[in-house]
Amino acid sequence: MDIRFSKVHGTGNDYIVVNTADQSFHDWPALARWACQPHLGVGADGLVVLTHHQQGRFAVDSLNPDGTPSEMSVNALRCAAREIRHRYGQRSATLVMNGREHAAECAGDEVSVRVGAVPRPQGPYEVDGLAVYYVPTPNEDAVAMVSDVDSCDVAVLGPAVRRHAPLAHLPVNVNFVTPQGGSELRVRTFEHGVEGETLSSGSGAVSAAVVASRLGLLAGRRVLVSNRSAGSLSVDLGDPTDGHRDVWLAGEAVRVFSGELCCPNGVLPAYATAAGQVPRW
Ligand SMILES: N[C@H](CCC[C@H](N)C(=O)O)C(=O)O
């Protein structure tokens, strides 16, 4: 039994997308731990499991490379919408992730998703000289404003921020942010579940824009976020007076390839990472 998939990236945040209609296999955490590994699997920042309900509605589940579910992934939603556009020809869809509904719109490879309301940031908390804000996006996102994000040691500072109270018990994604003038931000993200830096993060871009807006660092409601990938994300913060209740994220989402994972008799390879571990290479 082989497992059909597509590989889709949202500005460099890459996902293996499987459609439950194609599979008799259902152990998604085990599949995530195998398939997300580079060299031994497909290689990706996560697994997206898509289920078609009815009339343009889809359930979208996002799993991390360690097999844990992620509470929310905006880039995973954007990649799912791109795959839906390809497979079902729908430009608009309603995506349901962890019980929350998100409208999605595709125009070619440009995909927008309604994030909805983003709660008020908490903090700042002082961590190793950095002012860190906490934003329940509803992912757990931390935002640290830094003077030069490109010289930031993300691999060291990301875990350091996560060790600190009051974030220590939470599965936090840590975003380092430098305002670029006007309504532009540059962001780098240490992502929970990947346990390393990713090229881009949707909830990271949104939380960075919300914190920068609350700090009065932005000139307008449309925020351009550059990251480690070639493409930028665009955050629309909505009406500035409504407290960030109607936030959208847009940017490229690209189908890279599709194929079949070879899984004879439905048995995953022995080198699939054990439950609870993050793949290392
Ligand atoms: N990259 C994602 C966030 C994933 C977060 C996930 N790894 C977790 O918190 O478990 C995004 O575009 O919103």
Task: Give me the phi and psi of 82, to 5 degrees please.
Answer: -65, -40
Per DSSP, what are the bridge partners of residue 102?
Answer: 95
Q: What ipTM describes this predicted complex?
A: 0.95
DSSP annotation string for 130-155: EEEEEEESSSEEEEEE-S-GGG--HH
Question: Ligand 1 in contact with 141 (CB < 6 A)?
Answer: no
Identify whether the C-beta of residue 234 lies closer than 8 Å to the C-beta of residue 249: yes
Per CATH, the homologous superfamily of domain 122-245 is: Diaminopimelate Epimerase; Chain A, domain 1 (3.10.310.10)
Q: From ligand 1's centre to the CA of 181, what distance in Å? A: 26
Question: Ligand 1 in contact with 226 (CB < 6 A)?
Answer: no
Task: Give me the phi and psi of 110, to 5 degrees please.
Answer: -90, 120
Distance, CA of 152 to CA of 116 (rounded, Å): 30
Mean pLDDT for 142-158 is: 96
Q: Kindly give the residue spans of alpha helices, DSSP state H, lying in 135-215.
A: 154-163, 202-214
Question: Ligand 1 in contact with 175 (CB < 6 A)?
Answer: no
Q: What is the helix (H) or strand (E) element at residue 250, kind and residue range?
A: strand 247-261
Is the pLDDT reported for residue 142 higher than 70?
A: yes
pLDDT digits (tens, 9 = 90+) for 213-254: 999 999 999 999 999 998 999 999 998 788 889 999 999 999
Per CATH, the homologous superfamily of domain 3-114+255-266 is: Diaminopimelate Epimerase; Chain A, domain 1 (3.10.310.10)
| Residue appearing with tokens 């500035």 | 240
Among candidates 196, 195, 210, which has minimal Cα distance to 249? 210
Q: From ligand 1's centre to the CA of 148, what distance in Å? A: 23
CATH code 3.10.310.10 region(s) in the chain: 3-114+255-266, 122-245
Determine what percent of the chain is predicted with pLDDT higher than 90.
Answer: 81
Tokens for 147, please give them.
């003077």
Question: Ligand 1 in contact with 63 (CB < 6 A)?
Answer: no
Is the pLDDT reported for residue 25 higher than 90?
A: no
Q: Kindly give the residue spans of alpha helices, DSSP state H, lying in 19-164.
A: 28-35, 74-88, 154-163
Question: Ligand 1 in contact with 74 (CB < 6 A)?
Answer: yes
| Residue appearing with tokens 């860190």 | 132
- What's the mean per-residue pLDDT of the chain? 93
Q: Ligand 1 pocket check: which of 63, 71, 73 to mutate, most ligand atoms within 8 Å of Cβ?
A: 73
